[in-house]
Amino acid sequence: MSQPAAAPARTVTVRVPAKVNVQLSVGGLRADGFHPLANVFLAVGLYDSVSATRAETPRLTVSGPDAALVPQDRSNLAARAARLLAQRHGIEAAVHLHLAKDIPVAGGMAGGSADAAGALLACDRLWGLDTPREELLALCAELGSDVPFSFAGGAALGQGRGEVLTPLEVGGDFHWVFAVADGGLSTPDVYRECDRLREAEGTGSADTDVPEPVASEALLAALRGGDPQALAATVHNDLQAAALSLRPALAETLTAGLEAGALAGLVSGSGPTCAFLLPDADSAARTAHALTTSGTCRAARPTSGPAPGATVV
């Protein structure tokens, strides 16, 4: 007797990680408005969950402490991802997307990109499309520079605008604490401030003056070796000065984390979240506690990376 066909899923939920840039080197402003990057991404264990449920008309809801800061209309990156996938397959994007957000919003941890990557995978499975991974990654790149990495997870070197990914080998888990700030920073504002500071310093924002960004061999070796001390000596973020210029109080957060025992502290991406590297899970828990009580951040979250990319749960 043949088995009855399985009923199509009504809801698909995908978990998708935040990222920290262990190296973010920013080249000079190009004529097209973008900066060439050497961007070493590490996915870390703070996750958003994206649920896609069959619906008559498109709908989007958001939960989590920062839900009020997330656009709930067509402009939401997750809604755009669903529309793009539906358009490519010539179908209606009739889906209810629910974003359970744990990644800080506008925090420099690619929360919106994570939701876009999660929505693509969740809708693909809900609609039974089974789009090949390479095609999904190409759609991710259309949605934004950080979206392919959110989809892929692990660790990777991003070149171009950050979207041309080369997966990287990582020799062990790295322990981190993320100090979440009150309020976000706009990524375009931080890039503009970076250009302004470079011009004021006389290093210029034109492509002639700023060296072509390249990945640090020492940093890649530290990742391969799973060596936190070596990684701490090589982490670097070219956007940090700009984020500190726009949000001077972040200097106090960085000092508090270093005083609490971090091997290194840096602004995550365009900020304002600050990332601290620790030698092990126990010291991460202690540093998170010290940061929470320091009054220099809204919350401090211990976690580790590399974390897997978008995963159906």
Binding-site residue positions: 104-114
What is the residue whose two structure tokens read 């995978």? 121
Site for ligand ATP in 175-204 (CB under 6 A): 184, 187
* Residue 148 binds ligand ATP, judged by CB under 6 A: no
Which are the contacts of 162, defined by CB distance < 8 A and separation ≥ 6? Answer: 37, 39, 41, 145, 146, 149
Q: Which of 108, 154, 228, 265 binds ligand ATP (CB under 6 A)?
A: 108
Residue 269 interacting with ligand ATP (CB under 6 A) = yes
Q: Work out which of 16, 86, 97, 106 binds ligand ATP, going by CB under 6 A.
A: 106
Q: Which is nearer to ligand ATP, 108 or 260 (CB)?
A: 108
| Dihedral sign of CA atoms 296, 302, 305, 311 in order | negative
Binding mask 43-82 for ligand ATP (x = CB under 6 A): ---------------------------xx----xxx----
Cis amide prior to 188 (ω within 30 degrees): no
DSSP secondary structure code for residue 247 in this structure: -
Active-site pick, 66, 124, 146, 195? 146
222 binds ligand ATP (CB under 6 A): no
Q: 62-66: long-range contacts at Cβ-Cβ below 8 A with a sequence spacing of 24 or more?
A: 62/98, 62/99, 62/101, 63/98, 63/99, 63/100, 63/101, 64/99, 64/100, 64/101, 64/102, 65/101, 66/101, 66/104, 66/105
The answer to whether residue 146 is catalytic is: yes
Element (H, E) at 135: helix 133-143
240 binds ligand ATP (CB under 6 A): no
Say how far apart CA 177 and CA 290 lie, in whole Å. 11
Site membership for ligand ATP, residue 243 (CB under 6 A)? no
Residues found in the chain:
313
CB 188 → ligand ATP: shortest distance, Å? 9
Q: Which is nearer to ligand ATP, 22 or 260 (CB)?
A: 22
Is 223 a binder of ligand ATP (CB under 6 A)?
A: no
Q: Which residues are annotated as a binding site for ATP?
A: 104-114
Which CB atom, from 170 or from 190, has the smaller least distance to ligand ATP?
190
154 binds ligand ATP (CB under 6 A): no
The verdict on 111 binding ligand ATP (CB under 6 A) reads yes
Q: Is the peptide bond before 272 cis (omega within 30 degrees of 0)?
A: yes
113 binds ligand ATP (CB under 6 A): yes
Cα dihedral 197, 199, 203, 209 in deg (nearest 10): 130
Residues involved in catalysis: 19, 146
